[in-house]
Homo-oligomer: A and B are copies of this chain.
Amino acid sequence: VEGKRTGRRPGSSGSRDKILASARLEFAARGYDGATILRIARRAGCDPALVHHFFGTKERLFDEAMELPMSLSEQLPAILHDADKLGENVARMLLTSWDSGRGRQIMLGLLRSAVSNRRAADRVRELIMRQAMVPALNALSVPDADLRASLIGANFVGLMIARHITRIEPLASLSTEELVQAFAPALQQYLSGDVGRGD
């Protein structure tokens, strides 16, 4: 886990968290290339020099601000026990993690950055493949885990863009639970149905 406290004064770690929260808002709104340290400092109500003091470069600030709030693999055992509801359970896990709050800011920050910035694109790929879906699919021992993970990641990224960036209706206005129900059957198909290979 990155970002653990290293014996700083309490006031200092408060500013640090405030800068991270401001950075997430800024990256979510403008993407990596559009975001500036100056505007992040202004959002946090501090001097830009303090941002540099804590994080050095914009790259390092981006990496820390985009740290995942939770590990999906911790949630897996509770999700995998019911094969019939797999699509629904995985859809709910993905959407409760990423469709609101800090998870949504991180997702938007990564997506708005990934189209023009290789570092962010690498991060999205890493997130989908290694941290989220491939472990889940390996745990299920389905064939073609990598292909299925990439198809699910692609569909999920598309849903987040349609919902929060291009705002396509009625997708943008569904409640999270309505979106779970709309996404679940296709997700079940990608998890355990035919994907045009092997078996």
Contact = CB atoms under 8 A, between A and B. Distances in A.
Interface of A: 30-31, 34, 111-112, 114-116, 121, 124-125, 128-129, 146-147, 150-151, 153-159, 161-163, 165-171, 178, 180-186, 189-190, 193-197
A163 B154 CA distance: 8
Nearest to A193: B185
Contacts of A194: 185
Contacts of A162: 150, 153-154, 157
A128 B124 CA distance: 24
Contacts of A31: 115-116
A147 B182 contact: yes
Contact of A124 (B166, B185, B190, B193): B166
